[in-house]
Structure 1
Amino acid sequence: MKKIKFAILGCGHIGKRHAELIAQHPNAELVATIDLREPEELQLSDYHVPHFFNIDAFLASDMNADVINICTPNGLHAEQAVKCIDEGHHVVIEKPIALQVEEAYDILVAADKNSRYAFPVVQNRYSATVKWLKQMTDSGALGKIYMVQMNCFWNRDEHYYTKGSWHGTLALDGGPLFTQFSHFIDVLNWTFGKITNINADFYNFNHQETTAFEDSGLIKFELANGAAGMISYSTSVFQSNFESSITVIAEKGTVKIGGQYMNVLEYCQIDGTDKPVLDEHQLVNHYGAYKGSASNHQQVIENVVNTLNGLEKPDVSLQEGIEVVEIISNIYQQRKIGKTTPQEKKYLV
């Protein structure tokens, strides 16, 4: 099997997680890191690979990398992905792949033109509970779906929205549905299909001084089969993350997957089906003062390595990454805040 060579663009918390897992994989090799900060500040010195201070310097070098993992602020993902693809590299793109639908399709055009892969990172699909819910829905075990309720209640406080950070900005962050909860929007879309007839209300309870957007929202929607749905979310939960859950009311059963990271089967009553015993152990991404979502990135790296060696296909298609951007953008069309322009983006790497 060919050893796949990776470079990491953006070496913050999640970028370092990518670097760690690549270094541990027997058929992957970390060949470079790219970030405007010094390797010592980023605690990257253990990897002993060349460090570049911006993507242009890396692309101008003779460094050979099969894949560039884009782990920069959200608003930079699409433009940087297109640039890397046009230079002949495959890309792994942290969520979301873009903040604008048009930019998401720019990635698709570049990938098709250059015959390169773009792998969206939506690692929550690998959770045992999520895979089980998808299986129950696809198999028809639940019968007709009547209602779907998704709750995402997390904490993001002053430790997260620090002054001068890209977090909280419209141009680089985009809002909770992009930065915190796009993983769960993907689970919703993957399991039940696109949502329609959206009616949304937004609130900012305690982030008026730290963000340019809401911290909470209530979203009513319908599924293609006429099922009713609701998304309730907030980053104003006191002190720590509380819940990420999906409840399904259906013709032949009722189920709820929940816990802090949608990793626990909390309720299961399905006609003719016993409650399964699932692996509910879940590694979580720790970011110092706060926690992120499920840490299944090792399976993302494994899929990239196997795909580029011709052993399997991408677990997540670029089109599915685009669909998540479309869904969130359709929801946010009802948000009464200003629009961003490219000039507002800070090029941090």
Structure 2
Amino acid sequence: MARSTQVRYLWQFKDQAAYYEAAPWRGTWEQDGGMLINQGIHMIDLLVWFMGEVESVSGQLQWVNDHKETEDVASGIIRFKSGATGLIEANSVTWPENHGYAIKLFAEKGTIIFEGKNFDQVTKFTVENGPELDQINSWITEKNEQVIMYQEVMKHIDGTANQAVTAAEAEHALETIFALYQSHKIKEQVHLPLVSFSTIDMKGVN
């Protein structure tokens, strides 16, 4: 059982202002939903998939740029029902470019770290009675993960056995982010499941 885990999302647009100005919906609470939902949700999705059900979340946001109303920096502490603790560190203002992503899992009998600008490197795999790091990296041959994702979704639509993430699993990631947002807004720890939340509730929050 993993006792602690960390997800890091350190990302930057080459021209962030131009990116948001290119489409009016970007950077709005009504239609975009925030940096964690738009860019960082994939890391949160993996974190929750690895670690299981979330019990509570404490979060803090920070605003750096004034060309949008959603957050630029997010940090959070997650308490999982298993008793494990998770840390979230995410931002979209690293300079001068994307500094990469990482998920780090620390358990009683092993440590696993995935990272890299394209999130395709296993830099630590020390697991009791597990394979060696070189063997793990030799298994990573497919780089076009989006094609695989769509293939799995099509299998699901066709009723074929697949590994596609279910709607319920996707909801867990969203609910975790919503809890982090709500925690920042009310300045308190938030317990799951949430009764109700809308990103529009974040308008005017800083």
The two structures have a TM-score, normalised by structure 2, of: 0.79
The 8 Å contact of residues 246 and 257 in structure 1, kept in 2 or not, is answered as yes
Of 51, 60, 74, 1:201 maps to 60
Pairing 1:301–2:161 present: no
Greater RCO (CA < 8 Å, at least 6 residues apart): 2
Deviation at residue 214 of structure 1 after TM alignment? 1.4
The 8 Å contact of residues 195 and 327 in structure 1, kept in 2 or not, is answered as yes
User: Aligned in 2, Cα 1:155/1:313: closer, same or farther, shift over 3 Å?
Assistant: same
Of 16, 25, 42, 1:183 maps to 42
In the other structure, the counterpart of 1:159 is 18
When structure 1 is superposed on structure 2, of 171-180 and 267-276 the one drifting more is 267-276
User: Aligned in 2, Cα 1:211/1:335: closer, same or farther, shift over 3 Å?
Assistant: farther
In 2, the alpha carbon distance for the partners of 1:245 and 1:339 equals: 26
Of 111, 122, 127, 1:254 maps to 111
When structure 1 is superposed on structure 2, of 178-187 and 274-283 the one drifting more is 274-283
In the other structure, the counterpart of 2:183 is 334
Segments of structure 2 that go 5 or more residues without pairing to the other structure are: 187-197, 202-206
Q: Which runs of 4+ in 1 moved over 4 A?
A: 279-283
Q: Secondary structure at the match of 2:57?
A: strand
In the other structure, the counterpart of 2:86 is 229
Q: Secondary structure at the match of 1:178?
A: helix
Q: Which amino acid aligns with 1:333?
A: Q
Map 1:26-175 → 2, pairs under 5 A: 144-156=1-13, 157-162=16-21, 165-175=24-34
User: Aligned in 2, Cα 1:159/1:266: closer, same or farther, shift over 3 Å?
Assistant: farther
The 8 Å contact of residues 149 and 248 in structure 1, kept in 2 or not, is answered as yes
Segments of structure 1 that go 5 or more residues without pairing to the other structure are: 1-143, 284-294, 342-349
User: Aligned in 2, Cα 1:281/1:309: closer, same or farther, shift over 3 Å?
Assistant: closer
In 2, the alpha carbon distance for the partners of 1:280 and 1:312 equals: 22
User: Aligned in 2, Cα 1:307/1:223: closer, same or farther, shift over 3 Å?
Assistant: closer
The two structures have a TM-score, normalised by structure 1, of: 0.49
In 1, the alpha carbon distance for the partners of 2:104 and 2:146 equals: 25
In 1, the alpha carbon distance for the partners of 2:37 and 2:79 equals: 20
Q: Secondary structure at the match of 1:149?
A: strand
In the other structure, the counterpart of 1:7 is none
Deviation at residue 270 of structure 1 after TM alignment? 1.7
Pairing 1:264–2:121 present: yes
The 8 Å contact of residues 155 and 237 in structure 1, kept in 2 or not, is answered as yes
Deviation at residue 266 of structure 1 after TM alignment? 1.0
The 8 Å contact of residues 156 and 164 in structure 2, kept in 1 or not, is answered as no
User: Aligned in 2, Cα 1:302/1:164: closer, same or farther, shift over 3 Å?
Assistant: closer
In the other structure, the counterpart of 2:195 is none
Deviation at residue 339 of structure 1 after TM alignment? 5.7
Q: Secondary structure at the match of 1:299?
A: helix
In 1, the alpha carbon distance for the partners of 2:24 and 2:164 equals: 32
Q: Secondary structure at the match of 1:246?
A: strand
In the other structure, the counterpart of 2:136 is 277
The 8 Å contact of residues 203 and 214 in structure 1, kept in 2 or not, is answered as yes
Deviation readout 1:15-60 (Å, 9 max, x if unpaired): xxxxxxxxxxxxxxxxxxxxxxxxxxxxxxxxxxxxxxxxxxxxxx
Aligned residues: CA RMSD: 2.4
Pairing 1:212–2:62 present: no
Identity rate, percent: 23
In 1, the alpha carbon distance for the partners of 2:155 and 2:23 equals: 39
User: Aligned in 2, Cα 1:339/1:218: closer, same or farther, shift over 3 Å?
Assistant: closer
